[in-house]
Amino acid sequence: MSKYSLASLVRHSLTGHRHWPRVLRQAEPRRSYDVVIVGGGGHGLATAYFLAKKHGIRNVAVLERTAIGHGNSGRNTQVTRSDYFHLPSSRFYEHSLRLYEGLSQELNFNVMLSQRGKINVAHDPHELEILRRATNACRMNGVDGEMVSTEDLYRLMPLLNRHCRFPIVGGSVQWRGGISRHDAVVWAFARAATQLGVDIIQGCEVTDFLRQGSAVAGVETTLGPIFAPRVCLAVAGHSTQLARLAGVELPLTSMSLQAMVSEPVKPLLNHVVLSSKVHVYLSQSDRGEVVIGGGADIYNSYAQRGGLPVMEANLQATVELFPAFSRLKLMRQWAGTVDISPDTSPIMGLTPVDGLYVNCGWGTGGYKAIPAGGDTMAHTLATGRPHPLIDRFDLGRFAAGRLIDEGAAAGVAH
């Protein structure tokens, strides 16, 4: 597979860009692999890449029932940040952001990371105090963050409402936070993984597990059985359904999380901005669309649609923060099925069933975790022991009461 570079761009331009090689090798499933990863989203693909790259385990298949990136990894609002409150989260997400910072070079694919700053606005003194506490925690954990005054906020975002129903009293910012391009991240990992010999098999749904005694020994799929001593589930909103087939109950609920974009307009918002109070977050994509997200729908669902009330609430909140946006036309709306755990933190690592590993519970915020999720799960699969950065995110924490309650710490997850 050719390397992307300025020279290759010029060379291919001479032949009208008609001879670029295929990005993905078309793979047929083999009878057995060393590792099978279920789910061709960012986490499954990144895990496969790091298994091949860092651990030399290349006899790996990623099985995807539709097409890669058609799950949440291609549906999110692309926010990339590491300003988490609790130490285990802070270490993990900071590792992820650092990997993101070198990802385009690592994978030879422009993931369009734009560290434009992620701003939280506070609408009352109590909220400001919570932001100050969170910012202090970040700094103590070695993660960048600072407080910003109301004047700074209006300077940074001139269209921000000066007459909010809940007056804006200040905020905080992580300048290294921002966005990157979600489908580029998926394709970058997929391309790099296939280059190292990983089989990515699309249109292959896992329907059951093969057993050897009590251990998992492979998967039953719509393309036939595939044997593997290690199987990793990275299927987001479908984690409970699949794990249950192997006898593992996961404490997850599946809900719709929506996003929407306006028509494209000239640059008017230079940062990612979040308000927990009115409950919306916004950014402007490189194409000019205002990207809008909020909380999950309040009922369980596997539909990748989402209901009208949350959409309406997100738009009300958008107009409350930026009254001028009321003149924008809404262009598209969609949703993904997110897997939410009781403490809104992920579940990663081994399960009570030998041979079965899980990477799930990302809920509304697993896009930013893709590089670190892949790196640490690859280590866990290769060694049979949890990577030190994820040992606190084990399934056992729910029985032991060792919760990492980031939802409560952050007020809103994304």
Instruction: Return the SS3 of 410.
Output: helix
Which residue number, 258 or 344, has a Cβ lying nearer to ligand FAD? 258
Choose which of 236, 290, 328, 340 interacts with ligand FAD (CB under 6 A).
236
Whether the CA torsion 12, 15, 16, 17 is positive or negative: it is negative
Angle, in degrees to the nearest 10, between helices 370-383 and 87-101: 110
Choose which of 39, 117, 171, 349 interacts with ligand FAD (CB under 6 A).
39
Compose the 321-350 pattern: x for residues touching ligand FAD by CB under 6 A, - for all others.
--------------xx-x------------
| Beta-carbon count within 10 A of 131 CB | 23
Residue 77 sits in the site that holds ligand FAD (CB under 6 A): yes
Running DSSP on this structure, what letter comes out for residue 393? G
Q: Which of 345, 348, 371, 318 is nearest to 104 (CA)?
A: 371
Choose which of 35, 57, 60, 79 interacts with ligand FAD (CB under 6 A).
79
Query: Is there a contact between 370 and 78 (Cβ–Cβ < 8 Å)?
Result: no
- Dist CA 13 CA 393 (whole Å): 48
Residue nearest to ligand FAD (CB): 41
Q: Which of 335, 363, 367 is nearest to 42 (CA)?
A: 367
Residue 88 sits in the site that holds ligand FAD (CB under 6 A): no
Compose the 45-74 pattern: x for residues touching ligand FAD by CB under 6 A, - for all others.
------------------xxxx---xxxx-
Residues 6 or more apart in contact with residue 235 via CB below 8 angstroms: 38, 39, 41, 44, 71, 242, 360
Using CB under 6 A as the binding rule, the residues of this chain from 273 to 332 that contact ligand FAD are 293
In the complex, least distance from residue 196 CB atom to ligand FAD, rounded to whole angstroms: 19
Residue 383 sits in the site that holds ligand FAD (CB under 6 A): no
Choose which of 368, 387, 392, 397 interacts with ligand FAD (CB under 6 A).
368
In the complex, least distance from residue 200 CB atom to ligand FAD, rounded to whole angstroms: 11
Choose which of 234, 273, 315, 389 interacts with ligand FAD (CB under 6 A).
234
Q: How many residues bind ligand FAD (CB under 6 A)?
A: 41
Choose which of 36, 50, 53, 78 interacts with ligand FAD (CB under 6 A).
78
| Contact stretch for ligand FAD (CB under 6 A) within 39-47, 190-198, 386-394, 396-404 | 39-47
Which residue number, 60 or 128, has a Cβ lying nearer to ligand FAD? 60
Amino acid at 119: I
Work out whether strand 224-227 and strand 170-174 pair parallel, antiparallel, or are unpaired: unpaired
Query: Is there a contact between 36 and 226 (Cβ–Cβ < 8 Å)?
Result: yes
- Dist CA 190 CA 57 (whole Å): 16
In the complex, least distance from residue 328 CB atom to ligand FAD, rounded to whole angstroms: 19
In the complex, least distance from residue 261 CB atom to ligand FAD, rounded to whole angstroms: 11
In the complex, least distance from residue 267 CB atom to ligand FAD, rounded to whole angstroms: 20
Which residue number, 367 or 393, has a Cβ lying nearer to ligand FAD? 367
Residue 353 sits in the site that holds ligand FAD (CB under 6 A): no
Residue 271 sits in the site that holds ligand FAD (CB under 6 A): no
- Dist CA 292 CA 183 (whole Å): 18
Choose which of 362, 375, 378, 409 interacts with ligand FAD (CB under 6 A).
362
Amino acid at 27: A
| Beta-carbon count within 10 A of 57 CB | 21
Backbone phi and psi for residue 264, each to the nearest 5 degrees, phi listed first: -75, 135
Residue 242 sits in the site that holds ligand FAD (CB under 6 A): yes
Query: Is there a contact between 145 and 172 (Cβ–Cβ < 8 Å)?
Result: yes
Length of the chain, in residues: 414
Residue 206 sits in the site that holds ligand FAD (CB under 6 A): yes
In the complex, least distance from residue 394 CB atom to ligand FAD, rounded to whole angstroms: 17
The helix (run of H) or strand (run of E) holding residue 348 is strand 347-350
The helix (run of H) or strand (run of E) holding residue 172 is strand 170-174
Query: Is there a contact between 125 and 170 (Cβ–Cβ < 8 Å)?
Result: no
Which residue number, 259 or 317, has a Cβ lying nearer to ligand FAD? 259
Residue 259 sits in the site that holds ligand FAD (CB under 6 A): yes
Strand residue runs (E) in 16-89: 35-38, 60-64, 79-80
In the complex, least distance from residue 14 CB atom to ligand FAD, rounded to whole angstroms: 37
| Chain positions contacting ligand FAD, by CB under 6 A | 38-44, 63-66, 70-73, 75-79, 205-206, 234-236, 238, 242, 257-259, 293, 335-336, 338, 362, 364-368, 414
